[in-house]
Amino acid sequence: MVIKMENAKDYLLNRKVTLLYGISFLFIFLAAIISEILSIILDEGLLSPPIIAFHIIAFIGYVITLRYIIKKQPWIEKKNREIINNDMKKDL
């Protein structure tokens, strides 16, 4: 199976965008839900100090997670290709 370089680059770009979108959506979703829960528990508005502290910590966690995933992505892609190639050899 021969993969053209354009297709591989397009695939990797698509993979990066998908990871970025997925991680961003996860953190936005969790931040919104936890903000609502904290505002109900603390009986305060959405801009109370504990909620702002939570958002700052969540943003730092988001940046750390995103950097980690982007750094590890080439290694993960390499391992995935090795697993797929091994499975294809076993199937033959």
Most confident of 13-17, 29-33, 40-44: 29-33
* C-alpha 58 chain-centroid distance: 13
Other beta carbons within 10 Å of 65: 13
Span 63-86, average pLDDT? 84
Q: State the Cα–Cα distance between residues 51 and 30, nearest whole angstrom.
A: 13
For the chain, what are the domain ranges? 5-91
CA atoms within a 13 Å half-sphere pointing along the CA-CB vector of 63: 5
Convert the pLDDT of each residue in 37-61 to its tens digit. 888 888 877 677 888 888 888 889 8
Span 7-36, average pLDDT? 80
pTM above the 0.85 mark? no
Burial class (CB in 10 A: 0-12, 13-18, 19+), 38: middle
Q: State the Cα–Cα distance between residues 12 and 15, nearest whole angstrom.
A: 5
